[in-house]
């Protein structure tokens, strides 16, 4: 999957392969069982989107001043933070699959998953401590990580609540997904020695891409099938996480949806499938796609303001691709 | 409990109260439910041992060079890291009680406990990023945190294994408990501007205190009752964690213990109580106490080598007290 996705970005592909190899060297553990679980996860074909945006933004800057080793470690830190949160999310969600292979918690139990996620936090943290001293970015990372977790906690608090609003949804997404995309782009611009203006644009672009990405992801939960998505569909719905397509469909006809929502945890898989059909019937998917497109367009507009370069074209290309994906 | 424990250390008591108040200010969250859970945990009377040793070692140094604000934040960081690992440990252990009040996971569920622990990691991390740049201690912290987690993972891997050795036990304890004590003492010496020699002694003293402390804790699991200990007794045994008193008793008469151990997860509470009696009968508690005393004596011997001062006497006093506690 990864190789296809970056076929038009040969330089980036090399950088991401290097990032992945480097991450593998960072998770050598005396506990071989966990090392294996992490290796599986690393090699199972994630797109390394956060390192990808980081690298594209770094290449907009002053290449003479850049240090390849520093950039590699920062790219890896972003993916490691993402992986750590994925592992902990899967504990919460009780998710059996992740990237098409068994999640750490389904394979080894919640216990090991808690510590494995924590271990990745320490690796992440060691890498940024090594590469970001005196930049103010250690604090920025801590703040981003905190917002990310608060976004997850917000989402949990809103579970099985049929009165969720679109605003609450967007606030949670801004934390749990957009924050790390924003940080990735900002760090790329900063550690690539771009101008202040590019740095500001980068953070905003990352945030809008992140929101669009998450909405798109939530749409796929309604439109995809399990084999393409490589994770169970309608997972969120069964777990009481009401995402944008459902929230928008409900605005059209609350009386149709409320009887299902009021079943809360007792909703069956069959009923969930009915709700999913209703979401499409009441144009929830189209409306969500429309909002995602707005965020993508904001990002594209900002990208167009970046200094002219090959990388700018690649950013436009990659950002457009990301919203047309079906997995 | 805390107030009694430090009654002979008025200066330290003030510093620890300040540390606790500061920690409270650091866990102000928009999620009030979790804020409350954390406040309960902070106010429920932990001894703040790691900040205590940190402060005692810092006061051996050059007081004119010290910055009160920096010391306060580092003291808090040590307790926050400890709290984060406690919360995650309780998920693994399924522990209903912590410090005499309901554990975060038993009160709010594993889901919230995972993220709450993660949140404390970010607060910890932000504090050390703020106070330790350019000291090499960010890396030392990441390494300590990694060892701590590997110690926990080692312990999990050894569960329900009747062939555990004393060496494996001590190796796990060295990671899961002693590492953070060693770091606390070392950071006290370093950020208090002590000599290199004192720093080296500090780390070793902390490590030996940590090992003695954990052995003592494991002894209490066999000798204490639930109300004094404020957590369920024989918890470790039921969960397949075979600690030093049991391992030493088993060495005396494996044939007596093995039939029980071979029951693994199916051991009943009644059978656990029988094992606990056998552990005492075969002098497992005394033998463990003997080993703990050896570690304490090593620590006391090193403390005596520290520069002469009031604080040195306090360190001797506190270290001796710690091994005679019954809760």
pLDDT of residue B136: 93
First-residue to last-residue Cα distance in chain A: 9
Q: Which residue has the higher pLDDT, B109 or A274?
A: A274
pLDDT of B99 higher than 70: no
Cβ pairs A/B, distance under 8 A: 121
pLDDT of residue B231: 53
The alpha carbon of residue A34 is apart from the nearest alpha carbon of chain B, in Å, by 9
CA angle centred on A277, ends A276 and A283, rounded to 5°: 95
Output the pTM of the full model. Answer: 0.92
The residues that bridge with A252 in the sheet, in sequence order, are: none
Contact A176, B153 (CB under 8 A): no
Mean pLDDT, chain A, integer: 90
pLDDT of residue B306: 96
**Interface test mutation site (partner B, options A90, A112, A114, max chain B beta carbons within 10 A):** A114
Contact A255, A278 (CB under 8 A): no
d(CA B113, CA B134): 33
For residues B2, B126, A51, A202, the Cα torsion angle rounded to the nearest 10 degrees is 150
Q: Which residues of A touch B30 (CB under 8 A)?
A: 150
pLDDT band at A225 (very low <50, low <70, confident <90, very high): low
pLDDT of B229 higher than 60: no
pLDDT of residue A327: 43
Cα distances (Å, whole numbers) of residue A268 to A39, A239, A240, A272: 35, 11, 12, 6
pLDDT per position as a tens digit, B269-288? 888 889 999 999 999 999 99
Ramachandran region, residue A28 (left: φ > 0; alpha: ψ -120 to 50; beta: rest): beta
Q: Which residues of B touch A152 (CB under 8 A)?
A: 115
Q: Which residues of B touch A141 (CB under 8 A)?
A: 125, 129
pLDDT of residue B288: 97
Tell me the HSE value of A200 on the side-chain side, using a 13 A CA sphere: 4
Report the CATH number at residue B260: 1.10.600.10
**Chain centroid to CA B289: how far?**
17
pLDDT of B95 higher than 80: no
pLDDT per position as a tens digit, B125-155? 999 999 999 999 999 999 999 999 998 888 8
| Segments forming the whole domain that contains residue B127 | 2-323
Whose CA is closest to B190, among B84, B78, B79? B78
pLDDT of residue B156: 85
Pull the structure tokens for residue A276. 């999913």
pLDDT of A285 higher than 90: yes
d(CA B56, CA B11): 10
- Helix, strand or coil, per DSSP, at residue A291: helix
User: What domain count does chain A have?
Assistant: 1
Q: Do A153 and B118 touch (CB under 8 A)?
A: no
Q: Which residues of B touch A126 (CB under 8 A)?
A: 138-139, 142-143, 146
Q: Do B134 and A134 touch (CB under 8 A)?
A: yes
B175: exposed, middle or buried (C-beta count within 10 Å: 0-12, 13-18, 19+)?
A: buried
pLDDT of residue A28: 87
Q: Which residue has the higher pLDDT, A231 or B225?
A: B225
* Mean pLDDT, rounded, for B188-212: 98
* Mean pLDDT, rounded, for A265-290: 92
Q: Do A142 and B129 touch (CB under 8 A)?
A: yes
d(CA B180, CA A207): 37
**Interface test mutation site (partner A, options B27, B111, B160, B168, max chain A beta carbons within 10 A):** B111
Q: Do B153 and A110 touch (CB under 8 A)?
A: no
pLDDT per position as a tens digit, B56-94? 999 999 999 999 999 999 999 999 999 999 999 888 766
Nearest to B118 among A111, A149, A156 (CB): A149
Torsion angles phi and psi, residue B308, rounded to 5: -60, 130
* Mean pLDDT, rounded, for A158-167: 90
pLDDT per position as a tens digit, A26-78? 998 888 888 888 898 888 878 999 999 999 999 999 999 999 999 999 999 99
Helical residues (DSSP H) of B59-109, grouped into ranges:
68-93, 104-108
Residues in chain B: 327
| Residues whose CB is less than 8 angstroms from the CB of residue B200 and which lie 6 or more positions away in sequence, other chains included | none
pLDDT of residue B292: 96
The residues that bridge with A98 in the sheet, in sequence order, are: A101
pLDDT per position as a tens digit, A76-131? 999 999 999 999 988 876 666 665 667 777 777 788 889 999 999 999 999 999 99
Q: Give the ipTM of the model, two decimals please.
A: 0.89
């Amino acid at each position: 999957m990864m190789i296809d996705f970056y076929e038009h970005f040969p330089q980036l592909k090399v950088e991401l392969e290097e990032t992945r190899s480097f991450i593998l060297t960072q998770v050598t553990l005396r506990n071989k069982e966990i090392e294996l679980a992490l290796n599986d996860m690393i090699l199972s074909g994630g797109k390394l989107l956060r390192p990808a945006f980081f690298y594209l933004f770094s290449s907009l800057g002053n290449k003479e001043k850049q240090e390849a080793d520093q950039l590699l470690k920062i790219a890896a830190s972003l993916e490691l933070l993402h992986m750590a949160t994925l592992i902990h999310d899967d504990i919460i969600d009780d998710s059996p699959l992740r990237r098409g292979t068994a999640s750490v918690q389904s394979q080894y139990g919640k216990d090991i998953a808690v510590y494995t996620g924590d271990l990745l936090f320490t690796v992440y943290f060691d890498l940024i401590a090594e590469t970001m001293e005196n930049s103010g970015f250690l604090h920025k990372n801590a703040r981003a990580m905190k917002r990310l977790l608060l976004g997850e906690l917000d989402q949990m608090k809103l579970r099985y609540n049929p009165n969720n609003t679109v605003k609450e949804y967007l606030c949670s997404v801004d934390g749990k997904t957009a924050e790390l995309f924003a940080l990735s782009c900002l760090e790329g611009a900063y550690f690539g020695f771009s101008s202040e203006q590019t740095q500001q644009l980068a953070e905003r672009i990352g945030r809008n891409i992140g929101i669009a990405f998450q909405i798109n992801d939530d749409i796929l939960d309604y439109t995809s099938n399990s084999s393409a998505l490589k994770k169970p569909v309608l997972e969120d719905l069964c777990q009481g996480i009401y995402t944008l397509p459902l929230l928008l469909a409900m605005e059209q006809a609350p009386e149709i949806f409320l009887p299902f929502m009021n079943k809360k945890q007792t909703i069956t898989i069959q009923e969930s499938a009915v709700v999913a059909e209703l979401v499409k019937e009441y144009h929830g998917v189209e409306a969500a796609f429309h909002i995602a497109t707005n965020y993508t367009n904001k990002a594209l507009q900002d990208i167009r303001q970046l200094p002219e370069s090959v990388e700018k074209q690649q950013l436009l290309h990659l950002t457009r691709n990301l919203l047309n994906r079906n997995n």
